[in-house]
Structure 1
Amino acid sequence: MKTANDMIQEKGSDILCVPVGTTVLDALKKMNARKVGAILVTRDDKPVGIWTERDLMRNSLEGIFDPKTARIEEYMTRDLIFAPHTDSVYNLMDKFLGLRVRHLLIEKDGQSIGMVSSGDVMKAAIHAKDTELKQLNAMVSWDYYENWRWRPESK
């Protein structure tokens, strides 16, 4: 079973980031260009928050919200959630469901090594099940049943 570290190795550890002070509109442009649903907010190259599509939806309902002038740190989620690099796909799925989040930062030796989304984890889980199904089909195929014959013991 894949771990968070395996997924980061395949996906790459590059995390889309903006520094504190960036406007929400500029963050949105970066997110749109990379086709991602979340952006990490940093101060002195250290993560201090995350801003997501869900935040945009919630913020848009506020009457005073203007993405052209709003600073990302005013609207970001400050409580970052980390998962260890050793977490399996199923442990990550439990965290996504239990915490009701879509993005987790992956931590190794006290450092953030990347970020995975619920979509990344779903893709890994589907791939694992597909591989398992192919292995089972190879073990027990129709050829096995068609060639099986009962042969009485000869005396």
Structure 2
Amino acid sequence: MKTAAEILANKQKRLVTVPANATIYEALEKMTSAKIGAILVTGVGKEDQIVGIWTERDLMRNSLLEGFNPRTARIEDYMTTNLHTAQDTATVFELKDMLLGLFIRHMIIKKGEEFVGILSVGDLVRASLHMQDQHIRDLKAQTSWHYYENWRWDRQ
């Protein structure tokens, strides 16, 4: 079964971050150019310290608030600080179970104590479909006539 590390390797996207004092608009610009739905938030002046995550859903939830302006609103005021993480050794099944159980769409992946990436529900669905497709191909190969025609007992 595929692990988070294997999925991240296939994804080939670098970790995209924004400082906590950045505006929502600045975060949206970064997210749009990177074609991502969530961005990690770093401490101000501490690029190696992840303090939160901000997602498209956060934008949707907060955009209706009185006085909300993405050009002036700071990420730190709207980000999620309760970070849910998984190790890069976690399997697709374990990751899907965590996302469903926590009712979240993005899981932050760590290797030891280092943040190495984010996996979305879409990434996990894609990996699951690839695994199922490979399994079906393997089963078809085992049940094909070619397999049985070339199978024989080695008699001694």
Tell me, yes or no, whether TM beats 0.5: yes
CA distance in 2 between counterparts of 1:108 and 1:37 reads 22
CA drift of 1:141 comes to: 2.9
Deviation at 1:143, TM superposition (A): 6.4
Q: Trace 1:1-150 onto structure 2 (pairs within 5 A).
A: 1-12=1-12, 14-43=14-43, 44-45=46-47, 46-141=49-144
Residues 36-71 of structure 1, C-alpha deviations (whole Å, 9 max, x = no match): 111111010211001101000100110111001000
User: What percent identity do the matched residue pairs reach?
Assistant: 47
Q: State how many pairs are aligned.
A: 146
Kept in 1, the 8 Å contact 2:14–2:117? The answer is yes
Counterpart AA for 1:87: A
Q: Which amino acid aligns with 2:16?
A: L
Assess if the C-alpha contact under 8 Å between 1:93 and 1:118 holds in 2: yes
Give the superposition deviation at 1:12.
3.0
Unpaired stretches in structure 1, ≥5 consecutive residues:
148-155
Deviation, structure 1 residue 142: 6.3
CA RMSD of aligned residues (A): 1.6
Give the TM-score normalised by the residue count of structure 2.
0.88
SS at match of 1:50: strand
Q: TM-score, normalised on structure 1?
A: 0.88
CA distance in 2, matches of 1:132, 1:19: 43
> Runs in 1 of length 4+ with deviation above 4 angstroms?
142-145
SS in 2 for 1:98: helix
State how far apart, in whole Å, the 1-side matches of 2:12 and 2:112 are.
Answer: 18
Contact 1:13 1:113 in 2 (8 A): no
Residue deviations 1:5-56 (CA, integer Å, cap 9, x gap): 1112222361111011100011111111121111111010211001101000
Q: Distance in 1 between matches of 2:72 and 2:42?
A: 19
Letter of the 1:11 counterpart: K
Q: Is the 8 A contact 2:41 2:52 kept in 1?
A: yes
Q: Which structure 2 segments of 5+ residues have no match?
A: 150-156
Q: Deviations over 1:79-132 (max 9, x none)?
A: 111001111001001011111111111112211121111111111110000000
